[in-house]
Every structure is written in C-alpha cells, then in structure tokens.
Structure 1
C-alpha cells in the first residue's frame, strides 16, 4: 500500500506526510466557507477527539517504540522514555510561556506568553500553532526512525501516525477559522489564518526526521520527547478547553472515540 514511499529518503517521506497533515488542517479551515458559527458543544467534542488521538499516538506510536528501541540498543529501557518524555514537556512549557497566544473563548487580556500588541486573531492562530509543533515533530521522528530498520519502527506505523494526526487536524482547522469568521473576519481571511496554523508541521517534521537520521543514539529520546510534548499540549490546553462547557460528557466521549481511532490505525497498519 505504501510502496511508492520506499524510494524516497525518510526526510522526504516526513515532508510528504506532514504536508498531508497540513492539507487536512486546511480542509478543516475551509469549513468557514459553509458555516459562520460552530456550536460550543460540537467544538468541545472535536477538541476532545483531538485529545484522544494525541494521547493514543503518544503511547502506541512514540513511547512504546521508544522503550523497544532502547532495549534493542542495549540501553536501560525506561531511561530514554522518561528523560525524553519529561524533556518534551519542559520544551512545551517554555514555548507556552514565551509564545504569545490566546485560547478560544478567552478575552485578549487573558493571552498567555510574552505580552504583545498583536491582534486577537493572530493570538488565536498561535494557540493552535502551538499544538502543531509536537504533532509535526512526532511524524518526522517516526519516519526518521524507519531509516534504521528496527523492528519497532515501520513505514506503515509512521504512515498510521500521520493519518491519525491528519484526522485530528481537521477539527483543529475548523476550530480556528470559524471563530475568526464569527468575529467578522472575511471568510477567505479566516480560512487563510486557519490553514496557516498548520504550516509549522512540515517544518517540524523535516527537522525531526533529519535529526534522528544524523544522530541514531537520540532516537529513543526523540520519540519520547515528541510524546511528552504532545501530552503537555493535551493536559495543558486541549482537555481544559474541551471541558469548559457544562456538557463535559460530549468532550469525554470525543476523547474516547479519538483514542480508539488512533489505536485502531496504529495496530491495523503498524
């Protein structure tokens, strides 16, 4: 099924995969051409779904392979997983404190990161962009790992991760563009801002793949690093935003469905 990818280097494969995830973000952002509003309950369900996908991907596609690879490289299995995981969380903690951004539904005075005079729309886009950094990195590292021919790093598994990340990018794209439209931004401009939130994924993907190819010893750490960064985003931002409404069961069900979808993809393809 994925034979056509074999002739390309892992970096190019990662580029193709993250361009796909970016495309799905744009596809989600295009919903602004059909809707001006998005029901809060529906939005929470979509954010819950995205959280579920990211949680499943963090374990099935990143942490578990990290532990297996450490064993194959004769390294204490839990060391790369723990160090990388905590390092990924620390990285996102710093980015969260430094990058100006604003979460959905909050007033501009509640923006996080370094204080700036940037417009509300820019800050909203940057909040979703923050989610996409670890997602792109995770896909890139997964494809880079394939280069070493380790049993726990397969092309199908990397593709499954890209598909899962792509699926959850659809609601994220809509979650940016539709609220911007509601704030009287033109449909086209809201779409452009929405799809722009995913542009960081190809950049992070290529960097992630290139780094693990150049330095094999960091591979288990890099996989766990991407997992830690994604879990940080889920716990710090996605789950609180998804649970901000009184109908919290919708977000919870969305998370369960998202987790199941990503798990099925990883097990069936990987």
Structure 2
C-alpha cells in the first residue's frame, strides 16, 4: 500500500533520455528544497531531445520521491508509452502541459507551481508589478491566463496556447505560475525569478511605505540584458550545474 514500485531504467534508455530524466528528477527535488511543492500536485514536464515524447512525474508521488527512473514517458496526447509501467499520470495536470508543449515545440521544459505568493499576485487585477529586478526579468516575457476551474477541458488548450504566445512566464489567475525554458535549467531559473518577484511584491504591498518601480524603458531593454546574463558565465546556464550539485548533496538517490 505504501511501497513505491522500484524500477531501474539507467541502462534501458538512450543516453539522451537518461540525461533528461536525471535533470528533471533533480528539478523536482529542488522544488522541495525551496519549499515550492504542493503535496502531490503540480508538474514539471520535459521533452526528450530529438523526439516528441515527454517525461512527467508519476501521479501520487511526492516530489521528494521522484527519481530518474520513475518519471513517466508519455506521448503528446498523454498516453503512457511504456505499457508495463506501474505508474500513471494526472490528466488535469497534463492538459496544461500538453497545451504548452504543442504550442512551443522549441521549449524543452514547462514548470507549473501553486506557490502562494504567485497565486496572490496572479489574482491581483493588475498582476505583477515592476517592483524589483526579478519582476523586470519576468515582465519582459509575461502572459496571463484566466482561471477556468480544474484543467480537464480540452477546449481550454487553445485559450491557454493563445494566452501564452511566445512568453516564458505566465501567471495563471487564481491558480499559480508557469514558466517555459529551452532547457530544464532555463525553466527552473525563470521560475526562480518569477517567484522571487511575487514574494517581493507581496511584501512591498503589505508595507505602508511609498513604493518605487522599475522604469518601463529598463523592462523594454531587459530581454537583451537577460540573454547576456542567462547564457553567460554568471547566468542561468552556469547556475544550473550548481543546482544539480545541490540536489545531489541533499538527495543522493534522485538520479537512480
């Protein structure tokens, strides 16, 4: 009843798939380390490079139980590819992830969370405000999607895709946050920036001090600056290996 089926796929899948599995499992463990998980809910999905197949967490596992081997491989319609797999997926969660992967084939990873500060900011009528450097990064590529209840309606896919467009950051009204990334590390770093921006905004708006904001001209030019920071030696691609090492220190079994 309480035991998790043990499987080992390390020598049974391609090297490219295994690397994707290891990085995605690390991402799940990092969400726990940051306190961003929500029981067994929310998802991070990743496309296996060179294929249309996706990896996503098994429904019913806590994020600290996710390993490289127990991630579930599915097609774009949510069908489990390995018919002998003991795991299933959450159909409500997959609606969101299928929508964004179909619309954004160049993005390897989609990360969706129910962080409380993100829900609060998403529920503000004016949404995210330019109160910090973190928000400037997010506002340079921000989108919104209205709440429609549990995401089980296939018709919502088109509306979600239209709202997302080419953005890498999305606030789901009354629901949570979504980030996209060309790599798993990019999606994680985007979520880090977005959640920090939301945390700062909630703290600032709870104060009684007059607030200052980032100038729109800075936000307009932030995309070029973000490209330098997040692909350079001090940016996201440099930070992700460090995050992988952090996950390994805290959870030595995630890459099994």
TM-score by length of 1: 0.28
Which structure has more helix as a fraction of its residues?
Answer: 1
Q: Which has the higher contact order (CA 8 A, sep 6+)?
A: 1
Which structure has more strand as a fraction of its residues?
Answer: 2
